[in-house]
Amino acid sequence: MNDSELLERFVRDGSQEAFRELIARHTNLVYASAMQRLRDTHAAQDVTQAVFVALALKAKSLRAGTPLAGWLYQATKFACAKHQRTEERRKER
């Protein structure tokens, strides 16, 4: 099954197996992208988890044919930026 089919199965049936397969396929991409931006293993792990939570929450709203790897990469960029802003605020206090 390709990513689109797995995502559709997750949305349609709530298939945890399909979602686990998507996570298994793309964890390295998300984690490596987060590590490249944050240079911190714990932060990269947190961002990776946040990206897949976001995918689970937004899966229904993704357009058919959206390249999942590209969406995950963009979501990782946004999650890293959010993490960095949060850390800067925390340090200021």
Q: In whole angstroms, how large is the CA radius of gyration of the chain?
A: 14
Read off the amino acid at residue 44: A
**Which residue is it, tokens 């999650």?**
79
Q: pLDDT-based confidence at 58, cuts 50/70/90?
A: very high
**Architecture, CATH, for domain 3-92:** Orthogonal Bundle (1.10)
On whether the pTM is more than 0.85, the answer is yes
**What percentage of residues in the chain have a pLDDT greater than 90?**
94
Q: pLDDT-based confidence at 21, cuts 50/70/90?
A: very high
